[in-house]
């Protein structure tokens, strides 16, 4: 009957509406997940973003204060990246950054965080780590980076590293420890590059 046909059409249109809503929600959720993933992963190197680092560092500072567990943070900077870009091209410069990220990731523990902090800067956060162990890791990275091959007779790739250890004080904020690591990095650059400088924290 006409009444039954109308009812079936109504049910069909209702089902279509429900399917459309579900599809829209699925797309929105997919877009949300992609945006979240994009905000956490650096597109070029695949390591964490600055946003991820800031969040993890804040958590690590709070944990260090609560449990009195030391941690170290290092800023790793590619020496003369502009010269590499100028001599061998930006694609080569990008390759150097990707290769450095791979070397860093293959040398750290699961509990460590590697993040790209700026154009040619990476930050390495090492929980439960004292200065001597962190320095040994950074020296290993420094030597391995020199094996990165680049064409056109560009000098070997080197890195400068500045490192700071948490100073066991609730006043040592994420901002302050990063600033100390940055000061140590500046000293590494100023004194000739291709070296690890540790700031001693009393």
Q: Can you state the angle between helices 2-40 and 50-67, rounded to 10 degrees?
A: 70
Q: Pick the catalytic residue: 42, 99, 120, 182?
A: 120
Name residue, tokens 């940055």.
182
Cα dihedral value 5, 7, 12, 17, nearest 10:
140
Contact 38, 48 (CB under 8 A): no
Known catalytic residue: 120? yes
Catalogue the active-site residues.
120
């Amino acid at each position: 009957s006409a009444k039954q046909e109308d009812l079936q059409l109504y049910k069909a249109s209702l089902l279509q509406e429900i399917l459309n809503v579900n599809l829209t929600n699925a797309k929105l959720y997919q877009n949300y997940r992609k945006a979240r993933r994009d905000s956490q992963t650096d597109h070029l190197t695949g390591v964490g973003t600055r946003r991820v680092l800031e969040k993890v560092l804040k958590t690590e500072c709070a944990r260090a204060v609560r449990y009195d567990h030391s941690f170290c943070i290092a800023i790793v900077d590619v020496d003369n990246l502009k010269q590499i870009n100028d001599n061998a091209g930006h694609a080569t410069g990008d390759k150097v950054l990707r290769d450095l990220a791979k070397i860093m990731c293959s040398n750290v523990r699961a509990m460590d965080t590697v993040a790209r902090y700026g154009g040619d800067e990476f930050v390495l956060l090492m929980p439960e780590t004292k200065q001597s162990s962190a320095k040994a890791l950074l020296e290993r990275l420094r030597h391995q980076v020199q094996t990165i091959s680049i064409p056109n007779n560009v000098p070997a790739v080197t890195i400068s590293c500045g490192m700071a250890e948490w100073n066991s004080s609730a006043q040592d904020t994420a901002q302050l420890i990063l600033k100390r690591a940055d000061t140590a990095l500046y000293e590494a650059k100023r004194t000739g590059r291709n070296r690890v400088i540790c700031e001693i924290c009393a």
